[in-house]
A and B are shown apart, each in its own frame.
Chain A
C-alpha cells in the first residue's frame, strides 16, 4: 500500500531535549516536505526537499533541521525544542513537485 509513515504519532517532551520525528514514503517520490498545523494558521511549511541531498527552508524553518540522505526518508530534527514548537506535524511527499501531496497521519508534539 502506498503510504507516508510518520513516527511517533504522539510525543511529549521537555524544553531542550533533542528529538527526531521520522518520515518514510514507499512511492519513490522525489519531493518531500514537513508542515506544522496550528489552529487558525493552517498548514505552514517548515522545510522541503526536491531530491536526495537537496533541502530548502519553507516559511517557518527556525528551530528545525532536516536531512535527506535517502530518497524514502526525511526526518525532522528539533535540536532544542521549545514550548512554541508544540504543534501537529505532517510529512508529505509527491512526484513530480506540485503534484498532489500524500500526507502522513501526523505527529502531535507537546513541549513542556
Chain B
C-alpha cells in the first residue's frame, strides 16, 4: 500500500506570512493533485501536476512536483484568511486508485 505523508499536520500563521506544506511518498507518482477543503464542504481541486520538476502557479499559490516524482510542495505567499482550510494532496501511483494524504490544516490569523 502506497502512503502519502503530508507535513505539517497543523499550521497556524499570521496574515501576510509565507508558508510551505509538503506531500511525500516512498513511491513514484504518475500524477499528483492538490485539493482544498473548507468546513462543511467537499474537497475542491486546486491543481494537477504530472511532469517531474513541474511548477504551477495559481495567484499566490505555487505548486511544485519533485524531480524524482516522489514529492510535491505547496507554497503560499502573503497568506490571507481566505486561505484557511484543509489542504489535501492525492497521488496516482499508476493504477486505478487515487490515494489521499492525511492533510494539512491551515489557519490564517487576521
Measured CB to CB, the residues of A under 8 A from B are 4, 35, 40-45, 48, 50, 56, 58-59, 90, 92, 97-98, 100-101, 103-106
Contacts and interface: CB of A to CB of B under 8 A. Distances in A.
13 contacts: A42-B101, A43-B43, A43-B90, A43-B100, A45-B98, A48-B97, A56-B96, A98-B31, A101-B45, A103-B44, A105-B40, A106-B40, A106-B42
Contacts of A41: 102
A105 B33 contact: no
Contacts of B7: none
Given A100-B45, A101-B45, A106-B41, A42 B100 contact: yes
A20 to B, nearest CB: 19
Contacts of A90: 42-43
A75 to B, nearest CB: 17
How many B residues touch the partner, as a band?
20 to 34
Interface of B: 1, 9, 31, 33, 40-45, 48, 88, 90, 92, 96-98, 100-103
B42 A92 contact: yes
B58 to A, nearest CB: 14
A49 B1 CA distance: 20
Contact of A98 (B1, B88, B96, B103): B96
Given A98-B31, A98-B92, A42 B102 contact: yes
Given A43-B88, A92-B42, A101-B98, 20 more contacts: A4-B42, A41-B102, A42-B100, A42-B101, A42-B103, A43-B43, A44-B100, A45-B97, A45-B98, A48-B97, A56-B96, A90-B43, A100-B45, A101-B33, A101-B90, A103-B44, A104-B42, A105-B42, A106-B41, A106-B42
